[in-house]
Chains A and B, each alone.
Chain A
Amino acid sequence: MVKVTVYSTSTCPWCHKAKDFLKEKKIEFEDKNVAEDEEARNKMIEESGQSGVPVISIEGHDAIVGFDVEAITAALGLKE
Chain B
Amino acid sequence: MYDVIIVGGGIAGLGAAIYCGRFQLKTAVVGEKVGGTIILTDDIANYPGFKQISGMDLFDKVQEHAQDYDIEIIQKKVNNVEKCKDGCFKVKTKDKTLQTKTIIFATGTEWKKLNVPGEKEFENKGVHYCALCDAPVYKDKVLAIVGGSDSAAKESLLLSKYGTQVYIIYRNEKIRAEPINLKRVQENKKIQIINNTNIIEIKGDKFVNSVTLDKEYNGSKELKLDAVFVAIGHTPISDLAKQIGVSIDKKGYIITNDDSATNLNGVYAAGDITNSKFKQAITGVAEGVKAAYNVYEYINNELPVCGCMDDE
Contact = CB atoms under 8 A, between A and B. Distances in A.
Contact of A12 (B130, B162, B206, B207): B130
B94 A12 contact: no
B137 A67 contact: no
Contacts of A34: 136-137
Contacts of A14: 33, 35, 39, 130, 133
B175 interface: no
Interface stretch (B120-128, B182-190, B234-242): B120-128
A69 interface: yes
Interface string B203-220: 000110000000000000
B40 A13 contact: yes
Contacts of B114: none
Contact of A16 (B56, B123, B162): B56
B297 to A, nearest CB: 33
B94 to A, nearest CB: 7
B264 to A, nearest CB: 29
Interface in B30-51: 32-35, 39-40, 42
Contacts, number: 73
Contacts of A10: 136
Interface in B218-272: 227
A80 to B, nearest CB: 8
A22 interface: no
A74 B305 CA distance: 37
B77 interface: yes
Interface string A51-65: 111000000000001
Q: Which of A34, A49, A51, A65 has the most CB of B within 10 A?
A: A51
Contacts of B123: 50, 52
A17 interface: yes
Contacts of A69: 32, 75-76
A9 B134 contact: yes
Interface in B120-155: 123-126, 128, 130, 132-139
Nearest to B54: A13
Nearest to A10: B136
B133 A12 contact: yes
Interface string A12-44: 111111000000000000000011000001000
Nearest to B77: A70
A51 B77 contact: no
A49 B206 contact: yes
A16 B60 CA distance: 12
Nearest to A11: B132
A50 B124 contact: yes
16 contacts: A9-B137, A12-B130, A14-B35, A15-B133, A17-B35, A35-B136, A35-B162, A49-B125, A51-B134, A51-B138, A52-B130, A53-B137, A65-B124, A67-B33, A70-B76, A70-B94
Interface of A: 9-17, 34-35, 41, 49-53, 65, 67, 69-70
